[in-house]
Structure formats: C-alpha cells, structure tokens
C-alpha cells in the first residue's frame, strides 16, 4: 500500500508579512479614523498630524494650481499656509489640471509605490526578518511621511527601484539605475547623495557615480536661481527634525521655556565644526582599522548592499544640510536589508557586536525621533542617537571605501 504524500504548507516569507501587516494597518487606521477621528488616530502612533489630510501633498497641488494661473509659487505662503520648497518641475502639474482636490489619490499612489518597492527589497527573507522590517516601516518617523503624503515617499520608491536594478556586472542596468537616481534628483535634489555608492569602489561604480555627479551639477547650475529660493523657503527648526543644527536650536527652545535667553549656537561655527570633527573621527576609525587589517560592516555586492549605500549616503548627506523633518529618516529603511544579511556572513564577535550596535542605532533613530507632542516638546536623547548614527554610517562608508580601493589597487 503506498504511503500518502505529505502536504507541506508554503512558508510565509518577509514580503507576505510586510504586505499583510501593511493591509491590517490600513484597515485599522481607516476604522479608527472613522470612529475617533484623524488626529487621535495618528497621535496614537506617535505622529503629529496636520490638517488638511495629506498636508504636504496639498502644498504641492495648491501651488501647482496657482502657478498655472500665473502666481509666483516661491513667494512665501502665496498659495498655501506652508511655503513651496521643491524644484519647479512640480509646478507643471497645474497645467494638467491638478489641484488640491487630487491630493488624496496622489498621496495614496506614492504610498503604494513606496510600499511595493520595500516589499521587493525585503523579498526572499524569513518571516522574522519581515516582522522586523514591518516594525521599521511602522515607526513614527516613517508614518509621519505617510500621514502627510510627503513627496519623499515617491523618492524612496525611485531610489529603492534603482537599488533593485543596479548590477555592476551589467552596464545597461547600471546606466538605468543612474538614470532613475538622476530623475529622483530632478524631483527632490537630495538623491544626489547616492554618490555614496563609491564606497564600494570599482570601475563600474565610478561610472555610475560620475554619471550622477555630472548630471546633478549640470541640473543644479541650471536651476541655481530656484535652489536659492528653495533654500530660503525650507524651515530651519528643531521641531520633529534631525540634522547637525537641530540639537542647538532645541537647546534655545528649552532655554526659552525656562525663561532664559537664547545662546544662538546654531548661528555660529560650532555646529558645523562639530559635524566636521565627527567626520574626522569616523575617518580616523576607518583608517586605524584599515592599518590593522580589520574591516567592519563590509557592504556586500548585492541589491541589499546597494540599497544600504544609497540609504547611508542620503542620511549622512541630509544630516549635513542643517535640519530635516524626520519623515526623511524613511531612507534608513534602505539600510535594513543589508543589516539582516550580515549575520549570515562568517565574522568574529567584535564584528557581530558592531553590526548589532548599528542595527540598534538605526531602529532607535526611526522610533525615538517621533513624538506625538513634537510641536511643543524637544527631546535630547533622539538627537544624540542621530549624531551617533551619523558617525557610525560615515565610518562604515569610509571603511568600505578603503577596503575596496586597496583591493582594486592590488589587483591592478
């Protein structure tokens, strides 16, 4: 008598966990939003909401509609309570009839795009890895971008897609990836920091980075007048922000609440000097380890490795811009697949501790920066974690550059 075959249920992978978790989150948000209201729902997730819904997308569509009527979008608060502070290409939406009434479906589209790319980046990992990734996605910093329908979600989707496409061994895929990063730069400027891919030094990487760098310089020169206006319209604030100036602005806020005069360190040379000092310490750390033949957090030649370089470059680059709203921390999601892949690589205890420390710092950055009372409370601990992550990612990028550059020189 033949033995009946055993039916094995398919294993649940990371992509399924993220997709199901995201779907459940959407259903819960809709149900709670209908019962207790939009504001209490988002505050329960550690997100400080704004009105109208998907506020940041409304800024774009409102100004696009005004520009189509002949208004100057870069005059502060000329068409919305917030300022228009992105490249002028977005104003062309107004000529296609896009206005504030389209904000909801545009926000939904970019949220779906970003989620789809994240699922693709985490695909093929375990259910536990998927749960960890979902926890990162549902962090207050990322969810703030979702609540506001922020344009960075579209940029995250583009940069993530570029990481999925990129392959050093295939020139066509490398150029396509560079073209997508260049498109993202046209839309929001800061993706030019993906030149951090040069940390994994090779001839093809140099071609990739050179393409992005040259294109970005030409584009910035072409819209230089608008870059000045964009910079003027971007708020410099401690409120729900990260960056090398944020902690100094927050110090003045706390002094004001205590009835003390501001010391205005943010307007001095001290913040940038501190940032330079941290970069020097990161370089020294990488160089000392290199001299002793020790390397840490070696970025793999994989999709996860490329995504890590993009995410690290954007974090370090935007940190040096002064201040950024914390939704931009969503680009740290690009670092998580590589963090999950490192334990499979044979390393010593020291290496594993460094990797675990970096993982913990990234998660702390994503979770601690969000605060439901962020418009009235400033917390120092998240700022210190942000500085620690800046040091850590800079050291990892420099260490990888030294390693790959040295090996390339040896191989000729």
User: What's the pLDDT tens digit per position in 328-339?
Assistant: 999 999 999 999
Mean pLDDT computed over every residue of the chain? 90
Residue 167 clears pLDDT 60, i.e. is over it: yes
Q: How far apart are CA 261 and CA 275, in angstroms?
A: 25
Phi–psi pair at 325, nearest 5 degrees: -65, 150
Question: Contact 274/154 with Cβ under 8 angstroms?
Answer: no
Q: What is the mean pLDDT of residues 187-196?
A: 96
- The residue ranking higher by pLDDT, 373 or 342, is 342
Q: Are 243 and 322 in contact (CB under 8 A)?
A: yes
> What whole-number distance in Å separates Cα of residue 176 and Cα of residue 165?
7
pLDDT of 351 reads 83
Bridge partners (DSSP) listed for residue 296: none
Element (DSSP H or E) covering residue 241: strand 241-242
Considering only 101-115, 212-226, 229-243, which range has the smallest mean pLDDT?
Answer: 229-243
pLDDT at position 373 is 58
Block residue for tokens 């500085």: 387
Taking residues 41-67, what's their average pLDDT? 91
* Mean pLDDT of all residues in 265-281: 95
pLDDT reported for residue 374: 53
- Quick one: pLDDT at residue 280? 97
Residues 6+ apart with CB under 8 A from 263: 251, 252, 255
Neighbour count for residue 386 (Cβ, 10 Å): 25
- Find out whether 307 and 181 touch, Cβ atoms under 8 Å: no
- Please give the share of the chain, as a percent, with pLDDT higher than 90: 68
Quick one: what percent of the chain has pLDDT higher than 70? 95
Helical ranges in 69-202 per DSSP H: 103-122, 127-137, 140-148, 152-165, 171-188
Q: In the structure, what pLDDT confidence band is assigned to residue 25 with cuts at 50, 70 and 90?
A: very high
Mean pLDDT of 189-212: 93
- Asked if residue 263 lies in contact with residue 252, where contact means CB atoms within 8 angstroms, the answer is yes
pLDDT over 90 at 6, yes or no? no
Are 107 and 54 in contact by the 8 Å Cβ rule? The answer is: yes
């Amino acid at each position: 008598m033949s033995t009946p075959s055993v039916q094995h249920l398919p294993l649940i992978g990371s992509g399924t966990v993220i997709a199901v978790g995201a779907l459940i989150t959407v259903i819960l948000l809709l149900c709670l939003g209908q019962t207790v209201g939009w504001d209490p729902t988002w505050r329960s997730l550690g997100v400080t909401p704004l009105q109208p819904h998907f506020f940041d997308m409304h800024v774009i569509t409102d100004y696009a509609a005004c520009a189509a009527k002949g208004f100057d979008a870069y005059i502060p608060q000329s068409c919305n309570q917030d300022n228009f502070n992105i490249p002028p290409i977005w104003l062309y939406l107004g000529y296609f009839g896009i206005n504030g009434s389209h904000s909801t479906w545009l926000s939904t589209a970019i949220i779906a795009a970003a989620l789809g790319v994240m699922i693709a980046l985490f695909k093929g990992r375990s259910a536990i890895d998927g749960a960890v990734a979902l926890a990162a996605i549902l962090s207050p910093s990322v969810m703030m971008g979702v609540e506001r329908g922020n344009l960075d979600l579209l940029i995250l989707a583009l940069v993530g897609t570029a990481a999925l496409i990129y392959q050093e061994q295939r020139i066509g895929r490398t150029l396509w990836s560079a073209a997508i990063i260049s498109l993202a730069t046209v839309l929001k400027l800061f993706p030019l920091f993906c030149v951090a891919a040069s940390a994994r030094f090779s001839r093809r990487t140099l071609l990739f980075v050179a393409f992005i760098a040259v294109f970005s310089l030409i584009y910035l020169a072409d819209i230089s007048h608008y870059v000045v206006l964009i910079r003027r319209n971007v708020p410099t604030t401690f409120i729900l922000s990260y960056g090398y100036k944020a902690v100094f602005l927050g110090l003045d806020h706390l002094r004001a609440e205590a009835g003390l005069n501001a010391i205005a360190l943010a307007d001095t040379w001290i913040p940038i000097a501190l940032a330079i000092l941290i970069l020097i310490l990161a370089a020294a750390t990488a160089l000392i380890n290199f001299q002793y033949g020790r390397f840490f957090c070696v970025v793999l030649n994989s999709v996860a490795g490329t995504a890590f370089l993009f995410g690290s470059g954007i974090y370090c680059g935007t940190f040096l811009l002064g201040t950024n709203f914390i939704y931009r921390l969503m680009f740290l999601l690009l670092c998580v697949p590589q963090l999950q892949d490192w334990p499979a690589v044979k390393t010593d205890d020291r290496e594993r501790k460094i990797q675990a420390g970096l993982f913990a710092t990234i998660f702390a950055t994503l979770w601690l920066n969000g605060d439901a009372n962020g418009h009235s409370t400033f917390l120092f601990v998240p700022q210190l974690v942000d500085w620690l992550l800046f040091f850590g990612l800079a050291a990892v990028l420099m260490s990888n550059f030294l390693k790959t550059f040295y090996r390339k020189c040896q191989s000729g």
